[in-house]
Amino acid sequence: MRYALGAFLLISFAMAADLQTIALQPAGTSAFHPGPEHDATTDKDNQPAGKRVTRLANVSDPTLTFYPAPSANNSGAAVIVFPGGGYQILAFDLEGSEICQWLNSIGVNAALVKYRVPAAPNVARYEAPLVDAKRALAVVRSHADEWHVNPHRIGVIGFSAGGHLAALLSNTDTRPDFALLVYPAYLTSETDRTVLAPEFNVSAQTPPTFIVQTEDDTVHVENSLVYFSALKKNKVPAEMHIFATGGHGYGLRKTSEAVTEWPRLAESWLRTRGLLSSAAASVPH
């Protein structure tokens, strides 16, 4: 199936009434409340492919919104989506809802996570988001029967800081079954770009991973190179695509840059791993 921008845009209207949102933590759990949640985008902010981006700020109450794949082509696979934003905001449509719609268009269920940002003072920026990510994975697994998801085909996709979060989750005891990292950030040490960040413990149990980034990415392509090297060292199945140009923060919005063809490559990778076959949906839960 060829990647087509129009396909998932049409799906979004049809499925809007079917979306289910679940709180990942009881309301008021967060001790840190930097202010009311709001869209912080201004007219001066970057507009990938000429389109505005919704930048959610001050997220204190994390949620998961489930986007079911159309029943006619539900593969049984599900992907949990982590938008980026430097752990300061969430690019909620560019790297969130638009990604869910694309996943639905290729027969994959999607779960969009609105994780807590920014971090409280004097704690690791990923501490609360990782708690939310673990909870999101547990929620999807617990709803597998209800949502027609194969519990052995639950993956993650993350962008920029969301890529860091997806990679972190991939190296915990509650890891997903596969991961896609799109222009991931913060995977290397802050003092040495040739060394993996200390919070990572890549092992043979780290799930198969797809990575894409550009050489001219402002957050540095070493994030992908170093993480891929760690995967290879531990014999984790991995596929990496490095493009010459394209920068950072494009989501899946189509431009003249070759890197914006990455959804087609990701779909091929998912298909090659058997995750898009209808048989995946029939595996007993």
| Cβ proximity of 128 and 30 under 8 Å | yes
Question: Considering the chain, what is the average pLDDT of its residues?
Answer: 91
pLDDT (tens digit per residue) in 114-172: 999 999 999 999 999 999 999 999 999 999 999 999 999 999 999 999 999 999 999 99
How many domains are there within the chain?
Answer: 1
In sequence order, what DSSP letters do the residues of 51-119 get, joined into one string? ----EEE-B-S-EEEEEPPPGGG--S-EEEEE--STTTEEETIIIIIHHHHHHHHTT-EEEEEE--BSP
In a domain, 118, yes or no: yes
Give the contacts of 43 (CB within 8 A, at least 6 positions apart).
Answer: none
What's the CATH number where 215 sits? Answer: 3.40.50.1820
In three-state secondary structure terms, 138 is: helix
Is it the case that residue 2 has pLDDT exceeding 50? no
Mean pLDDT value across residues 67-82? 96
| Cβ proximity of 137 and 170 under 8 Å | no
Is it the case that residue 285 has pLDDT exceeding 60? no
In a domain, 257, yes or no: yes
Give the whole-angstrom CA distance, residue 2 versus residue 102. 11
Is it the case that residue 284 has pLDDT exceeding 90? no
Compute and round to an integer the Cα radius of gyration of the chain. 17
Side chain identity at residue 43, one-letter code: D
How far apart, in Å, are the Cα atoms of 109 and each of 44, 118, 121, 220, 271? 34, 28, 35, 31, 15
In a domain, 130, yes or no: yes
In a domain, 5, yes or no: no
In a domain, 59, yes or no: yes
Task: Give the range among 23-37, 60-74, 158-172, 225-239 with minimum mean pLDDT.
Answer: 23-37
Mean pLDDT value across residues 29-41? 88
Supply the pLDDT for residue 281: 47
In a domain, 178, yes or no: yes
Mean pLDDT value across residues 172-187? 97
Q: Which pLDDT band holds residue 32 (cuts at 50, 70, 90)?
A: confident
Please give the sequence-ordered ranges of beta strands (E in DSSP) within 183-245, or none if there are none: 209-214, 238-243
Alpha helices (runs of H) in 143-256, residue ranges in sequence order: 161-169, 222-233
In a domain, 22, yes or no: no
Is it the case that residue 261 has pLDDT exceeding 90? yes
Give the whole-angstrom CA distance, residue 79 versus residue 276. 12
In a domain, 33, yes or no: no
Structural domain that includes position 77: 46-276
